[in-house]
Structure 1
Amino acid sequence: MSTEDDARSWLAERGVVEVGDGWTDVEERPERRLTANDVAHSRAGEVFTDERLDRADQVRLAFGLLDLLDGYWVTCVIRSVDQGSDGPLPPDLLWEGCRRRLEAERDAEPVTYSLWVDWFEDHGTVATAFAQVLGNDIDRVVTEGSDAQLRRAGRVLACSGPVPWPLKEKVYDTAIRLPALHAPLFKGLLNSYYDVYGDLEPTAALALLVRLRLPADTLHLTELRSVLAAGHRNHYRCPHAWDAANT
């Protein structure tokens, strides 16, 4: 069975089953319809207290719940356990689980959002997280990467705004060698400037920006080029600079 099927069976053992396009708890309130988000909030934490499972199986089941429920809250639980008193989780399983979902054809928003606002914004976890999901193998991805690996690279680049510039500059400089990654790299640069916690070095970022092969009418390309040329590091340090670039 797939991890998603395992998660469905695990929930069914607890009386939580799919009904139409929703869920219900047949033991507690069978008349009430639950959303996937409801199920994630009420049940995801139980995965890591299930004593029938060893830690590795708990991690696999948690990712199965993520696949099944497609909910950001499941990623919050995974991270909370990893960073909490019962952590860390087995790093090979944790990060392979993230990479697999970043490479999948299906939408990976819960994982990319978690990377962005949790792992990358936290100075205690950003170096490890960024290295594990892209930094460690960016050279191989660019030179011989499969479509799946390029999906992962693009998704990580696009949400990498909060990653400190010294950690991502080399990754950006490597990614730019592959035109297929230019669009997500632009998003990464844009978020590095415009995100509240974004980080960049204006001169180096501008040097990368001018090398990108992008349509001339790319949204915010002109503004970003202007503020970087003026030496601005972050939108929120000088918000009027962005407005001035539009005039």
Structure 2
Amino acid sequence: MDREGVEAARRWLADQGVSQVGDGWVSDVRPGESLTAHEVAQSWAGAVFCADLDAAAQVRLAFGLLDLLDAYWVTCEIRFAYGSAEGRLPADVLWDGYRRRLEADRDCEAVTYSLWVDWFEDRATAATAFAEVLGNDIDRVVRERSAHLLRRARRVLECSGPVRWAVKEPTYRTAARLPALHSCLFRALRAGFHDVNGDLEPAAALALLDRLDLPADTQHLAELRHVLAAGHRNHYLSPRAWDDAVGSGPHG
């Protein structure tokens, strides 16, 4: 957590008449009513990008607000601002904000959910977002193997199902050189098959799966291998394939 950013966000909210009381929030606009962090985010996060600050400072303030509220809606406002007609946000500040939170030793569900459903499911932004949060750094991850880089890699891989296979395969192949990432690579491949917008190439995915050192009793390993060997790309394109794979097992 960026404590300085959190305090800056807290001061900014106070200037808007919003303050924290116990586990909730109160606003001068709605006196006597307790607000949740999500309600605060919905009502005020977008205003960050109207603040009398340069674009980089607005992004830093938004991330401070995200750390303070831990509300997914703050990431939505960041994404809206990125695509607004007024111009895109400074990329270095934007992606540094994501990377730092992906590396932090604290829950970052709002950040990974944001990557998954907002950045990775959008073909217009998926390649850039994936490169910025992992692809550009995967060689460093494998070389250094530091706890914070591995934490970021695991988190990104596990929500990367919707990223196009051609974009993510080189990163997957490099990550496979590191046994510490094999379990999350398996989950990444499984998500590539099961996600509504998941994407993979069956033959290449199967070849990668066969490189992973996984416990023999890994749940769904046999089913994933079966559907990939049969040439299925996605559960929603072949809705019976997974059930058929389950049924073909030793207990089917």
Q: Structure 2-normalised TM-score?
A: 0.95
Helix, strand or coil for the counterpart of 2:211? coil
Q: Distance in 2 between matches of 1:90 and 1:28?
A: 32
Tell me the distance in 2 between the aligned counterparts of 1:61 and 1:156: 23
How far the C-alpha of 1:239 sits from its partner, in A, is: 1.0
Deviations 1:188-247 (A, max 9, x none): 101101101000010110111122122222221111111001110001111111001111
Partners of 1:28 and 1:124 lie apart in 2 by 38
Q: Residue 182 of structure 2 aligns with which residue?
A: 182
Q: Secondary structure at the match of 1:84?
A: coil
Equivalences for residues 80-119 of structure 1 within 5 A: 80-119=80-119
1:40 aligns with 2:41: yes
Tell me the matched-pair count. 245
1:31 Cα deviation after fit: 1.2
- How far is the alpha carbon of 1:43 from its aligned partner? 0.3
Q: Deviations over 1:44-101 (max 9, x none)?
A: 01101012x1111111000000111111111110011111112210000000000000
Structure 1 partner of 2:9: 7
Amino acid of the residue matched to residue 19 of structure 1?
A: V
Q: Read off the aligned partner of 2:42 and give its amino acid letter.
A: H
3-state DSSP class of the match of 1:23? strand
Unaligned runs of 5+ in 2: 248-252
Alignment pair present for 1:31 and 2:32 = yes
Q: Which residue of 2 aligns with 1:144?
A: 144
In 2, Cα distance between the equivalents of 1:20 and 1:89? Answer: 34
Residue 146 of structure 1: how far off its partner (Å): 1.6
Pairing of 1:188-207 with structure 2 (within 5 A) = 188-207=188-207
Determine whether 1:168 maps to 2:168.
yes
- Measure the CA separation in 1 of the matches of 2:55 and 2:207: 46
How high is the sequence identity, in percent, across the aligned residues?
Answer: 65
Which segment is superposed worse, 166-175 or 212-221? 212-221
Following superposition, the deviation at residue 23 of structure 1 comes to: 0.7
| Deviation of the 1:112 alpha carbon | 0.8
> Which amino acid letter does the alignment assign opposite residue 8 of structure 1?
R
* Partner secondary structure for residue 233 of structure 2: coil
| Equivalent residue number for residue 216 of structure 2 | 216
Letter matched to residue 41 of structure 2: A
Distance in 1 between residues matched to 2:88 and 2:6, nearest whole Å: 23
Q: Distance in 1 between matches of 2:87 and 2:112?
A: 22
TM-score, scaled to structure 1: 0.97
What secondary structure is seen at the aligned counterpart in 2 of 1:166?
helix
In 2, Cα distance between equivalents of 1:176 and 1:193:
18
| C-alpha RMSD over aligned residues | 1.0
CA distance, structure 2, for counterparts of residue 246 and residue 116 of structure 1: 27
Structure 1: runs of 5+ lacking an equivalent: none
User: For the residues of structure 2 that align with 1:72 and 1:209, how far apart are their CA atoms?
Assistant: 32
Divergent runs of 4+, >3 A: none
